[in-house]
Amino acid sequence: MNKSIAVIISLLLTQAGFAQKADTTSIWKKNVVGNLNLTQASFSNWEKGGDNSLAWQLKFDSKFEMDAEKWNWATTGKFELGFAKVGGNEARKSSDIVDIETVVTKKLGKLLNPFVAATVKSQFVAGFKFDDTAETKTQVSKFMDPGYFTQSAGIGYKPNDNFQSRLGFTLKETLTSDFPQYADDADTPEIEKTRIEPGVSSVTDLKWKIHENVAYVSKLNVFSDMKSVNRIDVLLENQVIMKVTKYLNVNVSVDVLYDKDVTDKTQLKEVLAIGLVYQFM
Residue 260, pLDDT score = 83
pLDDT in tens, 177-204: 999 999 988 788 899 999 999 999 999 9
d(CA 251, CA 220): 19
Which residues are CB-neighbours of 124 under 8 A, at least 6 positions away? 79, 81, 96, 98, 143
Q: Quick check: helix, strand or coil at residue 19?
A: helix
Residue 1, pLDDT score = 43
d(CA 212, CA 203): 27
Q: Could you give the angle at the alpha carbon of 70 between the alpha carbons of 67 and 71, nearest 5°?
A: 50
Map out the domains of the chain with their CATH numbers.
Answer: 2-42+49-279 (2.40.230)
Which parts of the chain register pLDDT below 50? 1-2, 4, 24
Residue 224, pLDDT score = 93
Asked whether 166 and 156 are in contact (CB, 8 A), the reply is yes
The whole-model pTM stands at: 0.83
Phi/psi class of residue 226: alpha, beta or left (left: φ > 0; alpha: ψ in -120 to 50)?
left
